């Protein structure tokens, strides 16, 4: 016999067992339902693309992490490292084939050869949603509203969306005479929650002077209710501007829908990335603020500039799926289960009878699993327990006995509908 | 401004627009519902694996098609080219963590650098389902039954599963004195539907003599009802055997469930692949037999032999998702739609009112989309048409007017529930 090959996966990669895959799929399905209720449609793009398409002609910090190689046709190709760049390429290629404004979502894997010591994985699922083709308060608000709706579904609304506006921040930097420093300043401010204001100030002093750093900290530290913070920001950024009016309009829309309390104006939210041009936002679970943002994004006004001269303004967000999953599991809102069967039908010498019963129960909408080996009943109960199957059915001479393994209650002679009703009452 | 980059995808790859992605997701979701109703659970594995894990220590015909490269850590890695090999590795790694028999499904992309001239894509979705840990007629039958159930859901049962048994074929070759030629003979026979019996005979003559070839053609040409074909095969393969008894048992189980007519015993079904050891089967849509098999598989009795000494017998099948999609679209059973919204709410200067109405309709379970730009009503109707949205809502001074764009019928003053009922009646 040949030598065995170790069944190992690559560093930074992982198998997804049912107890991980089921909650992940449940979460994705809940998000999809919300997205579709707003008219968002799914798309997909290839995992492999021309390297030039993904990285542009230049290069950046991400490049070193990209899985890049030469394919059979001597093409320079790379695996996608996010869903934003492929979406930009997609929009440049298909803008004429889709109806604008185009509302799309995309849930798919991406790959980054990151340092795994920080607990990061090299393969993970991203979930993005965007509206392209409308630079309006209505579009900004729709994304915010959809984020709030998703949080209704996932955590009964117990989440807060903190938002700000890149344009106001830029105006403020202009007033400060520090417009040229916007990139390092944004990066420093973005670290506030992680490293604290003293450390941010130290970073800021690399780009601006002592007074500037203090003013920046005062700006991002503005507190109070939405409208009073807005007034402070306007005062610090040279007065009322189209950007501050956009924030005011968003507040008015949220108020009209009775949702003003879900949105906090927080000027410390800036998002590190360069490409945002309008509102930016992050989402925090009220019960787990230290988890960090579970859904973040903003407005960018030139999505596909690398590929087309057509201006395609967009606004959207990305779900931190792994982080959100961890949060929901910690809060007991999404259970890690190894199976989704409602009932296990114990093995019987006449296996046709078991599948016949299973078919009747499936017709009532139940997930009915048949045990396929001739094992002791105790072992079959153990199987049910391991897979999280609450009910067990045993075919006997006097009919079918159904048992609730949690309460111990047993009933014989129920018809399939009556049993299905019982199951639904017990595990709604 | 920098030179634009062409927004093109690699040869053999493609974007999935909503009108392609929505029917694909609908099909996958229908399949998942069937799989879960039988107690099957989802898993996932990494896209990238050690090349040795995917290809073994040797090499084969597939190898040239594999996307293989050296990663940042100087590891020899490859992208998966099917879901069977990763599943074997998964079972070797996790057999102790899952409950046996393990019933799993896996829907995910795979990559093969195939010749695209034959209309093949280099990136496509595979959908596999298997039961591991039970070499029983009950397990064989469960897979067959689940395939039949899937066909109930997709084509109202109008599909036929043609099956055979590798073991009987091998016994027959033994009687013929051609056991050593089983691999080329199987490959030749597998081509019957594609190239016809004359061409198959020519291929067979490369491995066996004239009499042998004629006998093989007679064997695979056996016709009649299930039991009479079975009797012929038994006669040609040395009499009743455990393999022929297994086929008899499957027929008896199918009869018990009133499904015997869905399964045809067809000895020309052999499947080309070496690793099958038991029953093998293919599935044909009754209305489109020339489409080829849309769901195929069989029993293999040593799934993970490359990675572990533990014997893991399995039985399963793979869905030809692209082919099945094409078939369903040709039959008008799965529509290509660009959206799933039930209603488009026309733009109104007061955008809060539109989202407010949308929220009420969403609460009734409708997908309610708000048009986000200030455009002429005619253009908004065109948008609805392009996205396949049947109903339109317009907020006016006298209340909300709802319109069915197909019948032209308009109603004003409906409450959200009444409108939702109307929508459900029109597009159930």
Digit-coded pLDDT (tens) for A148-172 = 999 999 999 999 999 999 999 999 9
Burial class (CB in 10 A: 0-12, 13-18, 19+), A57: exposed
Is the distance from CB of B254 to CB of B260 less than 8 angstroms? yes
Closest partner CB to B356 (pick from A90, A257, A355): A257
Residues of A with Cβ-Cβ distance to B38 under 8 angstroms? 358, 362, 367-370
Is the distance from CB of A173 to CB of A287 less than 8 angstroms? no
pLDDT digits (tens, 9 = 90+) for B390-412: 999 999 988 999 999 999 999 99
Q: What is the pLDDT of residue B59?
A: 55
Query: C-alpha angle with apex A341: A336 to A343, nearest 5 degrees?
Result: 130
Q: Do A370 and B15 touch (CB under 8 A)?
A: no
Q: What is the pLDDT of residue A270?
A: 84
Q: Sorting pLDDT into bands at 50, 70 and 90, what band is A404?
A: very high
Question: Across the strands, what pairs with A110?
Answer: A124
pLDDT digits (tens, 9 = 90+) for B303-331: 899 999 999 999 999 999 999 999 999 99
In a domain, A218, yes or no: yes
**Domain end call among B247, B281, B300:** B300
What is the C-alpha separation between B105 and B42, in angstroms, rounded? 5
With 80 as the cut, is the pLDDT of residue B119 above it? Answer: no
What is the C-alpha separation between A7 and B53, in angstroms, rounded? 7
Identify whether residues A287 and A139 lie together within a single domain: yes
What beta strand segments (E) does B55-177 contain? 68-70, 76-79, 102-111, 123-132, 159-165
Q: Sorting pLDDT into bands at 50, 70 and 90, what band is A351?
A: confident
Q: What is the pLDDT of residue B410?
A: 96
Q: What is the pLDDT of residue B423?
A: 96
Mean pLDDT of B347-355: 85
What is the C-alpha separation between A128 and A82, in angstroms, rounded? 9
- Return the CATH number at A187: 3.30.930.10
Is the distance from CB of B259 to CB of B148 less than 8 angstroms? yes
Q: What is the pLDDT of residue A1?
A: 52
Q: What is the pLDDT of residue A69?
A: 95
> How far is residue A248 CA from its own chain's centroid?
27
Identify whether residues A249 and A205 lie together within a single domain: yes
Identify whether residues A318 and A356 lie together within a single domain: no
Structural element, H or E, at residue A299? strand A295-300
Q: What is the pLDDT of residue B115?
A: 82
Lowest mean pLDDT among A115-124, A284-293, B9-18: A115-124
With 80 as the cut, is the pLDDT of residue A74 above it? Answer: yes
Q: Which residue has the higher pLDDT, B143 or A337?
A: B143
Mean pLDDT of A8-34: 97
Mean pLDDT of B260-280: 89
Q: Sorting pLDDT into bands at 50, 70 and 90, what band is B339?
A: very high
Cβ count near A413 (within 10 Å): 10
Q: Do A366 and B37 touch (CB under 8 A)?
A: yes
Coil, helix or strand at residue B161: strand
Q: Which residues of B306-320 are buried (b: 16+ CB within 10 A; e: fewer)?
A: bbbeeebbbbbbbbb
With 80 as the cut, is the pLDDT of residue A57 above it? Answer: no
In a domain, A347, yes or no: yes
Using CA coordinates, name the residue in chain B closest to A254.
B352
In a domain, B237, yes or no: yes
User: Token match 């080329």: residue?
Assistant: B184
Mean pLDDT of A308-320: 95
* Gap from A230 CA to chain B (nearest CA, Å): 20
The mean pLDDT of chain A is 93
Q: What is the pLDDT of residue B190?
A: 85
Identify whether residues A285 and A413 lie together within a single domain: no
Residues 212-241 of A with CB under 8 A from B: none
Instruction: Find the helix packing angle between A242-256 and B351-363, rounded to 10°.
Output: 40
With 70 as the cut, is the pLDDT of residue A60 above it? Answer: no
**Domain end call among A292, A309, A330:** A330
What is the domain count for chain A?
2
With 80 as the cut, is the pLDDT of residue B349 above it? Answer: no
Could you write out the three-class secondary structure of A113-127? CCCHHHCCCCEEEEE
Query: What is the β-pairing status of strands A159-165 and A263-265?
Result: parallel
Q: What is the pLDDT of residue B344?
A: 98
User: Token match 């970073």: residue?
Assistant: A203
What is the C-alpha separation between B265 and B219, in angstroms, rounded? 12
pLDDT digits (tens, 9 = 90+) for A39-49: 999 999 999 99
Coil, helix or strand at residue B44: strand
Residues of B with Cβ-Cβ distance to A21 under 8 angstroms? 41-44
Region of B92 (left: φ > 0; alpha: ψ -120 to 50; beta: rest) is alpha
Share of chain A above pLDDT 90, in %: 84
Using CA coordinates, name the residue in chain A closest to B357.
A257
Q: What is the pLDDT of residue A240?
A: 97
Q: Which residue has the higher pLDDT, B1 or A142?
A: A142
Residues of B with Cβ-Cβ distance to A14 under 8 angstroms? 46
What is the C-alpha separation between A117 and B230, in angstroms, rounded? 60
Burial class (CB in 10 A: 0-12, 13-18, 19+), B152: middle
Identify whether residues A138 and A268 lie together within a single domain: yes
Lowest mean pLDDT among A28-42, A59-73, B337-351: A59-73
Q: What is the pLDDT of residue B255?
A: 97
In a domain, A54, yes or no: no
Query: B280 φ, ψ to 5°?
Result: -135, 150
Q: What is the pLDDT of residue A59?
A: 55
Q: How far apart are the first and last CA of chain A?
A: 52
Identify whether residues B271 and B351 lie together within a single domain: no
Closest CA to B80 of B115, B125, B15: B125
DSSP helix, strand, coil percent of chain A (3-state; round to 5): 45, 20, 35
Is the distance from CB of B289 to CB of B266 less than 8 angstroms? no
In a domain, A204, yes or no: yes
* Token pair for A415: 């018809």
Test mutation, B355, B356, B384, B385, chain A, max A CBs within 10 A: B355
Identify whether residues A225 and A272 lie together within a single domain: yes
Structure ipTM: 0.94
Q: What is the pLDDT of residue B61?
A: 57
Mean pLDDT of B159-188: 92
Q: CA–CA distance from A8 to each of A5, A319, B242, B307, B417 (Å)?
A: 9, 29, 37, 9, 54
In a domain, A74, yes or no: no
Cβ count near B23 (within 10 Å): 18
Identify whether residues B272 and B421 lie together within a single domain: no
pLDDT digits (tens, 9 = 90+) for B147-157: 999 999 999 99
With 60 as the cut, is the pLDDT of residue B1 above it? Answer: no
Identify whether residues B149 and B232 lie together within a single domain: yes
Residues 61-80 of B with CB under 8 A from A: 64-65, 67, 69-73, 75, 77, 79
Q: Say whether residue B36 is in contact with chain A using an 8 A CB cutoff.
A: yes
User: Which residues, 6+ apart, have CB-to-CB distance to B183 below 8 Å?
Assistant: B274
Identify whether residues B270 and B355 lie together within a single domain: no
Is the distance from CB of A19 to CB of B42 less than 8 angstroms? no
Mean pLDDT of A10-29: 96
Q: What is the pLDDT of residue B273?
A: 67
In a domain, B224, yes or no: yes
Residues of A with Cβ-Cβ distance to B145 under 8 angstroms? 355, 359
pLDDT digits (tens, 9 = 90+) for B49-59: 999 999 987 65
What is the residue range of B269's domain?
136-300
In a domain, B15, yes or no: no
Residues 320-339 of A with CB under 8 A from B: 338-339
Share of chain B above pLDDT 70, in %: 98
Q: What is the pLDDT of residue B354?
A: 95
- Return the CATH number at B379: 3.40.50.800
Mean pLDDT of A288-314: 93
Identify whether residues B236 and B170 lie together within a single domain: yes
Q: What is the pLDDT of residue A61?
A: 57
**Domain end call among A330, A361, A394:** A330
Identify whether residues A238 and A385 lie together within a single domain: no
Question: Across the strands, what pairs with A165?
Answer: A279
């Amino acid at each position: 016999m040949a030598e065995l090959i170790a069944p190992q996966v690559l560093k930074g990669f992982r198998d997804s067992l049912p107890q991980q895959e089921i909650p992940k799929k449940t979460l994705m399905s809940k998000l999809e339902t919300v997205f579709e209720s707003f008219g968002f449609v799914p798309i997909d793009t290839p995992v492999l693309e021309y390297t030039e398409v993904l990285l542009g002609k230049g290069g950046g910090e991400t490049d070193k992490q990209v899985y890049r190689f030469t394919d059979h046709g001597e093409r320079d190709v790379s695996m996608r490292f996010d869903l934003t760049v492929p979406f930009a390429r997609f929009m440049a290629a298909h803008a004429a084939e889709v109806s604008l404004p185009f509302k799309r979502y995309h849930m798919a894997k991406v790959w980054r050869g990151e340092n795994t010591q920080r607990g990061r994985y090299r393969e993970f699922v991203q979930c993005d949603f965007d509206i392209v083709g409308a630079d309006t308060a209505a579009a900004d608000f729709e994304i915010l509203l959809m984020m709030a709706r998703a949080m209704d579904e996932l955590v009964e609304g117990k989440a807060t969306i903190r938002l700000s506006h890149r344009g106001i921040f830029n105006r403020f930097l202009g007033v400060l005479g520090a417009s040229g420093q916007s990139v390092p300043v944004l990066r420093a401010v973005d670290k506030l929650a992680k490293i604290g204001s003293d450390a941010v100030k130290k970073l800021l002093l690399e780009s601006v002077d002592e007074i500037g750093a203090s003013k920046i900290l005062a700006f991002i530290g503005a507190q109070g209710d939405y409208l009073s913070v807005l007034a402070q920001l306007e005062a610090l950024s040279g007065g009322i501007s189209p950007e501050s009016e956009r924030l005011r309009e968003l507040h008015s829309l949220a108020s009209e829908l009775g949702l003003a309390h879900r949105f906090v104006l927080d000027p410390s939210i800036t998002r590190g990335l360069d490409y945002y041009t309008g509102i930016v936002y992050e989402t925090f679970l009220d019960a787990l603020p230290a988890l960090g943002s579970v859904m973040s994004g903003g407005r960018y006004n030139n999505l596909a500039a690398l590929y087309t001269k057509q201006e395609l303004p967009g606004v959207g967000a990305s779900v931190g799926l792994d982080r959100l999953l961890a949060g929901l599991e910690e809060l007991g809102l999404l259970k890690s289960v190894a199976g989704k069967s409602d009932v296990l039908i114990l093995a019987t010498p006449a296996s046709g009878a078991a599948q016949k019963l299973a078919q009747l129960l499936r017709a009532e909408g139940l997930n009915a699993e048949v045990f396929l080996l001739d094992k002791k009943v105790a072992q079959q109960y153990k199987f049910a327990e391991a897979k999280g199957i609450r009910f067990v059915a045993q075919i006997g001479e006097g009919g079918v006995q159904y048992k609730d393994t949690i309460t111990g209650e047993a009933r014989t002679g129920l018809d399939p509908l009556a049993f299905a009703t019982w199951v639904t009452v017990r595990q709604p």
